[in-house]
């Protein structure tokens, strides 16, 4: 089973697009929460993300991994595949 990946985005956010492109390049399925203009959804996301309200915010198996720079850093360090291969079960 693959990891459960969720990403909170805005439609035209360049950082969101870049983070999704990395996941798509790795052929990772993810659930996208596009929260354009939805303040209650953004507040819910920030609650899950330890107060972070910038976009994107990415979760792997309900663990907050951060935003675009964070997921690319995990990839550069060889840690992203480890997180993605853990199904959380």
The alpha carbon dihedral of 65, 51, 54, 7 has a sign of positive
Residue 35, helix vs strand vs coil: coil
Q: Please list the ranges in the chain whose pLDDT falls under 70.
A: 1, 87-89
Q: What is the pLDDT of residue 58?
A: 98
Q: Cα separation of 81 and 79, whole Å?
A: 6
Q: How far is CA 19 from CA 40, 77, 83, in A?
A: 23, 16, 15
| Six-digit token string for 51 | 């107060």
pTM (2 d.p.): 0.93
Give burial (CB, 10 Å; 0-12/13-18/19+) of 85: exposed
- Domains, the chain: 5-85 (3.40.30.10)
Element (H, E) at 59: strand 57-60
């Amino acid at each position: 089973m693959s990891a459960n990946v969720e990403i909170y985005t805005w439609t035209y956010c360049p950082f969101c697009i870049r983070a999704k492109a990395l996941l798509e390049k790795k052929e990772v399925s993810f659930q996208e929460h596009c929260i354009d203009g939805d303040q209650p959804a953004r507040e819910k996301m920030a609650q899950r993300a330890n107060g972070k309200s910038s976009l994107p915010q990415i979760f792997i198996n309900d663990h907050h991994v951060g935003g675009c720079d964070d997921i690319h850093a995990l990839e550069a360090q060889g840690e992203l595949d480890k997180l993605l291969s853990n199904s959380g079960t």
